[in-house]
């Protein structure tokens, strides 16, 4: 098996030490007894090379042979599939583990991290605006250079990214033409239109 390489920062301030997300991948490798090494990258200068690997300028990312995968949650699922210790292979247990993995990322962390961020900054208004705008800008940069997020074709990644972005579209400030075009392109798909019309019809029955 190819050796796994976890990329993280060389250095961070005192507070986040012990919490930087490379820990999730280290922990998974330790549980599954997977061979891995850790490579440090500079903290100060977020280089174009960094954004090429991680379009939000974050860490970690994982290299596994010819696969490079960012987002700690995605890298974790990728690692988990290598080991029964992390992810049971019987379909019922696997689905159960997957649902709780996504719960942690999208139901708990989706609230805990922004809550923590506002607590630390002591924000007296909607202190998530700049963060949100920065996410949108990174997405715009990515979509300026490609039609689809993955594999040069429509995938489930476009489906979910579009669904996440389309509610924010009308509320967002500033021009983001590539993102707007992406959302329009995806919501023009017959499958989206049917799903959308069906949902509206479903709720209309209740009126």
Question: In whole angstroms, how close is the CB of 26 to a second copy at the nearest point?
Answer: 4
Question: In whole angstroms, how close is the CB of 48 to a second copy at the nearest point?
Answer: 19
**Cβ nearer to a second copy, comparing 51 with 154:** 154
List b or e across 155-188, with b for residues whose CB sees 16 or more CB atoms inside 10 angstroms: eeebbebbeebbeeeeeeeeebebbeebbeebee
Question: In whole angstroms, how close is the CB of 147 to a second copy at the nearest point?
Answer: 13
Question: In whole angstroms, how close is the CB of 174 to a second copy at the nearest point?
Answer: 14
**Cβ nearer to a second copy, comparing 108 with 181:** 108
CB contact at 8 A, 7 and 62: yes
Question: In whole angstroms, how close is the CB of 36 to a second copy at the nearest point?
Answer: 10
**Cβ nearer to a second copy, comparing 47 with 193:** 193
């Amino acid at each position: 098996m190819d050796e796994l390489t976890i990329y993280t920062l060389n250095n961070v301030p005192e507070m986040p030490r012990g919490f930087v997300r490379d820990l999730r991948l280290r922990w998974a490798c330790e549980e599954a007894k997977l061979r891995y090494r850790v490579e440090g990258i500079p903290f100060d200068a977020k280089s174009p090379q960094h954004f090429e690997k991680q379009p939000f300028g974050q860490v970690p990312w994982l290299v596994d042979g010819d696969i490079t995968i960012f987002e700690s949650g995605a890298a974790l699922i990728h690692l988990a599939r290598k080991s029964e210790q992390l992810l049971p292979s019987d379909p019922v247990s696997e689905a159960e583990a997957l649902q709780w993995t996504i719960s942690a990322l999208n139901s708990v962390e989706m609230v805990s991290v922004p809550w923590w961020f506002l607590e630390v900054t002591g924000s007296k208004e909607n202190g998530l605006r700049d963060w949100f705008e920065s996410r949108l800008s990174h997405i715009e940069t990515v979509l300026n250079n490609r039609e689809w997020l993955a594999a040069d074709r429509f995938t489930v990644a476009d489906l979910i990214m579009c669904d996440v972005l389309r509610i924010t579209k009308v509320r967002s400030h500033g021009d983001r033409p590539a993102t707007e075009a992406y959302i329009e392109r995806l919501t023009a798909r017959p499958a989206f239109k049917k799903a959308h019309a069906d949902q509206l019809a479903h709720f209309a029955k209740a009126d």
